[in-house]
Amino acid sequence: MQTTAGVEYPLPWEAEGELYGGFFRAMKEKKLYARKCCSCAAWQWPPRPFCRECQSTEFKWEEVPDHGTVYTYTVMYRAFSEYYTDKLPCGVVVVDVGPVRLPGRFLGHAEDIECGITVKAEFDEQALTGSSLAWVAR
């Protein structure tokens, strides 16, 4: 947890680690990065130690589009952790940006979410703090 303007955002455990560091550092600079295998060029998300296509362990971070379509989603009417208890209903969308699918918070009315809608990354304070990505309808 990190306090910014009195709000404690839930933070990833390994924001600086080898697997996720590239993603979270880029997010704080308003960019979306995913991993690409240096050996066979397969995209990899979520990050894992080995490439499932060629078993290489060498990866680089490359930028992916900051917009895409909602593949699927959830809308929560119950929070399962303290941070979200006063933010209900809240939605999480899984966004197909082309090479990979990236999940994030949906900013806007959660009940308006549908599969197939077009969304764009929004680098709100929670994203820039390094907590999690957010998306808004375009």
Partner 1 sequence: MTQLKAQITGVGETAYTRGTDRSERDQILDASLTACADAGIEPKAIDGVVMAWKDSPTNEDVVNTFGIEDLKYHAHVHIGGASPAAAVLQAAMAVTTGVATRVLVATGWNAYSTPVRLSSGAQESSNVTNMPGKEIRQNIEYPLGLFAPMQWYSFHANRWFYEYEADPKGMETVALATRKHANLNPNAYMGGRTLTSDDYQASKYLVKPFRLFDISLETDGAAAVIVSAAAVDSESSRGVSILSGSEGHADAPDDILARPDVLNMGITKAGPRALELAGVKPDDFDFAQIYDCFTFIVLRQLEELGFCQRGESSDFVANGRIELGGDLPLNTHGGLLSEAHVAGMNHVVEAVRQLRGEAGERQVHGAGLGLVTGYGDFGDGSVLVMGR
- Sites of contact with partner 1 (CB under 8 A): 9-15, 17, 19-20, 45-48, 71-85, 90, 92, 94, 100-101, 103-105, 114-116, 131-132
Q: Shortest gap between Cβ of 45 and partner 1 (angstroms)?
A: 6
CB of 93 to partner 1, least distance (A): 10
Complex with partner 1: residue 66 or 110, whichever CB lies closer? 110
Within 13 Å of residue 55, how many CA atoms lie on the same side as its CB? 0
Name the residue with tokens 């820039």: 128
**Of 12 and 65, CB closest to partner 1:** 12
Considering only CA atoms, which of 84, 121, 91 is closest in space to residue 8? 84
> What Å distances lie between residue 44 and 31, 90, 122, 128, CA to CA?
17, 28, 22, 23
The nearest distance, CB 100 to partner 1, in angstroms, is 7
